[in-house]
Structures are given as C-alpha cells and as structure tokens.
Amino acid sequence: MSFSGGVRACLGWRFALTEIQAFLTEVVGKFEFALTEKSERIRREPCMVMAPTVEGEVKNGVQLPLRVSVAPRTENVY
C-alpha cells in the first residue's frame, strides 16, 4: 500500500495534513517568540537557500537565536 501519489494513494493524507496544521497552530499559539541580543548580528548566508547565521559564528551553521516563553493565558469565550 502506497501513501504517496497515484490511484492507491492514502485517502486520509489531506485530513492528516489538516490535523498537523491545527495541532501546530494550537501549540505555537501557546508560546511567545522574541529575538535575542544576537539578533542585530544575524546575516543571510547564501547557499541552496538563504539561511540565517550569526555574524562571526558561521562555523556553528544555520541559527536564528530566539527567546521562547510561555504565553500568558487568556479567557476563551465560546
């Protein structure tokens, strides 16, 4: 059984994709993302795609320093 393309492709692949998107939206929405002090030193490094690197730390590879914290809870009214 194939899960990719063709006549016998998985019937639920679109549903699975929608489920993953909904899950990520819920999870990412519970956090706050902010740039760190290194953000002023972020440069784009050309390769196959433009990748963010910290100036002077190219040997460490692709990086985008972020400060991640839990978002404050809010009352949801439905």
How many structural domains compose the chain? 1
52 part of a folded domain: yes
Determine the structural domain holding residue 61 and report its residue range. Answer: 13-70
65 part of a folded domain: yes
32 part of a folded domain: yes
Q: How far apart are alpha carbons 49 and 46 in whole angstroms?
A: 6
Confidence class for position 78, pLDDT limits 50, 70, 90: low
CB-based contacts of 2, cutoff 8 Å, min separation 6: 8, 9, 10
pLDDT digits (tens, 9 = 90+) for 62-76: 888 889 999 888 776
- Please tell me which residue, 77 or 60, carries the higher pLDDT value: 60
Q: Is the pLDDT of residue 20 over 80?
A: yes
4 part of a folded domain: no
63 part of a folded domain: yes
pLDDT digits (tens, 9 = 90+) for 26-62: 999 899 999 888 888 888 877 777 888 888 887 888 8
8 part of a folded domain: no
